[in-house]
Amino acid sequence: MSRIDTAYNYFMTTYGSSIGSRYESHKKSELRDTYNRIVKTNKDSPLYKLKDTEDMGQFAIDIKEHANNMSLSVSNLSSADDDIASVLDKRVASSSNPDTVDARYIGDKESDVDDFTIEVNALAKPQINTGNFLNPNDQDFRPGQYSFDLDIRNHSYEFQFNVNPGENNLNVQNKLVRLINTSDVGLSAQLIADRNESNAIQINSKSTGISEDETTLFNITSTISRRELDILGLDRITQQPSNSDFTLNGVQHQSLSNTFTVNKAYELELKAPTHGEVTVGLMNDTEALSDGVNQLLDSYNGMIDVGLKYTGTHQNRTLFNEMSSIARSMAGSLAFAGITMNAEGHLSLDKQKLSEVINSTDKAQAFTVLNELKTAIRAAASKASINPMAYVDKAIVEYKNPGKSLTAPYATSAYSGMILNQRL
């Protein structure tokens, strides 16, 4: 279990912030296609045993998430079957400081939209309750059944938990964290530690902001288990929820969330307070194309970095060789479109050269090169995402009987579904 927990914690701390983004949703047909490809990939795969190394799980997760980034960058640049030239017909939002204010155009192609300025004074914040720090080895809870009541946004819930003989404070705290996180009531919980290695439960509301008729987003109380609640301290609010505060073209506004729309044309996501005004508008044609190509190259370079890392630690060049071969095989044609490769296999874009060729009579050839690169990256991303375990060190135990094998969708690509099983 400790190895599973390590892999899961690595995934959440490294990539957890991207979960639930607007680019992560899928149609039923896409999910069905993904499942079918997993089944097909694993149908005749051999049975193997993973090598017992600390970074094996991290490497597999890195592969999967960077493959996902590659797929998203392809989707953001153009639809799977669309010519990249279609980007020149798209309206793409531009923010002068995307690190503080991210913008996405959601309006019609024919709508008249104007640039505007925004200045962010404060972000919307969630409510945070932080419990008492308890020595993990002490046994402050008597065996028995306990419960506490949760009131959140006009809904009431009762949480019940048992304390078994011999369970220490850490056992009880972990049990409550799992209970809250699996309840799906709009809260997330985690254990935090202090310098004395004592642990406390911290509970965050998933929603932010506070309306005029509210004072809190959630309350935790108990009558029959008041002693246990006092020991845990879960009812102590350490951060009050608050609204985002910003100005649009100099006019003051507030919002319950850090994501909202402006004039039915832009969707804004506030990421940090600004130091001065940020301008939001539309990119010109070549700027939107260059931005999309740069995102594609960044996602590709990220996968190259993962391959280089594993090449150094395990002397396994499978991933690096497979990914870098894309750029090596297209080096000459990529240079025509302003894309060059360095000694480590990273790709970089010369925006000026791309703009020049796109505005010349040779633009059709440039788009052919870009489409070939997009297709190659999409195929590599799909392969790595379906079975990231193909690139890790492992020992083959036996091969299946050809033609008579049974489908086992997650047996050999465990990390593609985030089902972690170290022992086969």
pLDDT tens across 274-319, in order?
989 999 998 877 887 888 899 999 999 999 998 888 887 777 788 8
Three-state DSSP state, 401: coil
Per DSSP (E only), the strands in 62-215 are 93-95, 101-105, 116-122, 128-130, 144-152, 155-163, 187-193, 199-205
Structural domain boundaries in the chain: 2-92+285-416, 128-239
Kind and range of the H or E element at 126? Answer: none
CATH class of domain segment(s) 128-239: mainly beta
Whether the Cβ atoms of residue 198 and residue 96 lie closer than 8 Å to each other? no
Instruction: Assess whether pLDDT exceeds 90 at residue 131.
Output: yes
The single-letter code of the amino acid at 414 is A
**Residue among 379, 421, 419, 418 at smallest CA distance from 65:** 418
The tens digit of pLDDT for each residue in 334-355 reads 999 999 999 889 999 998 898 8
Return the structure tokens found at 369: 């090169």
Distance of CA 333 to the CA centre of its chain: 33
Q: How many angstroms separate the CA atoms of 294 and 217, rounded?
A: 41
11 vs 381, more confident: 381
Whether the Cβ atoms of residue 71 and residue 380 lie closer than 8 Å to each other? no
Whether the Cβ atoms of residue 56 and residue 389 lie closer than 8 Å to each other? no
Share of the chain above pLDDT 90, in %: 46
Lowest mean pLDDT among 95-104, 160-169, 359-368: 359-368
Lowest mean pLDDT among 52-56, 203-207, 209-213, 381-385: 52-56
What pLDDT, on the 0 to 100 scale, is given for residue 332? Answer: 87
Three-state DSSP state, 187: strand
146 vs 15, more confident: 146
**Residue among 213, 192, 187 at smallest CA distance from 202:** 192
Share of the chain above pLDDT 70, in %: 84
Whether the Cβ atoms of residue 354 and residue 288 lie closer than 8 Å to each other? no
Q: Looking at residues 371-394, what average pLDDT do you find? A: 85
The tens digit of pLDDT for each residue in 17-75 reads 555 555 556 667 777 877 777 777 777 677 777 766 667 777 878 888 888 888 888 88
What pLDDT, on the 0 to 100 scale, is given for residue 424? Answer: 35
Q: How many angstroms separate the CA atoms of 424 and 422, rounded?
A: 7
Return the structure tokens found at 382: 């799909």
* pTM for this predicted structure: 0.61
Indicate the average pLDDT of the chain.
83
What pLDDT, on the 0 to 100 scale, is given for residue 54? Answer: 62
Q: How many angstroms separate the CA atoms of 287 and 161, rounded?
A: 56
pLDDT band, residue 228 (cuts 50/70/90):
very high
Return the structure tokens found at 420: 């972690």
Instruction: Assess whether pLDDT exceeds 90 at residue 410.
Output: no
Count Cα neighbours of 76 within 13 Å in the Cβ-side half-sphere.
25
Instruction: Assess whether pLDDT exceeds 60 at residue 137.
Output: yes
CA angle 192, 194, 199 (to 5 degrees): 50
Distance of CA 202 to the CA centre of its chain: 22
Within 10 A of 334 (CB to CB), how many other CB atoms are there?
22
Q: Looking at residues 379-392, what average pLDDT do you find? A: 84
What pLDDT, on the 0 to 100 scale, is given for residue 226? Answer: 93
Q: How many angstroms separate the CA atoms of 273 and 278, rounded?
A: 11
Whether the Cβ atoms of residue 407 and residue 42 lie closer than 8 Å to each other? yes
Whether the Cβ atoms of residue 326 and residue 314 lie closer than 8 Å to each other? no
Q: Helices 363-386 and 285-314 sit at what angle, rounded to 10 degrees?
A: 40
What pLDDT, on the 0 to 100 scale, is given for residue 13? Answer: 57
Count Cα neighbours of 159 within 13 Å in the Cβ-side half-sphere.
24
Q: What would you measure as the largest C-alpha separation in the chain, in angstroms?
A: 80
What pLDDT, on the 0 to 100 scale, is given for residue 82? Answer: 73
What pLDDT, on the 0 to 100 scale, is given for residue 122? Answer: 96
Q: Looking at residues 224-252, what average pLDDT do you find? A: 94
Instruction: Assess whether pLDDT exceeds 90 at residue 127.
Output: yes
Whether the Cβ atoms of residue 370 and residue 87 lie closer than 8 Å to each other? no
Q: Cβ contacts of residue 204 below 8 Å, gap of 6+?
A: 126, 127, 128, 187, 188, 189
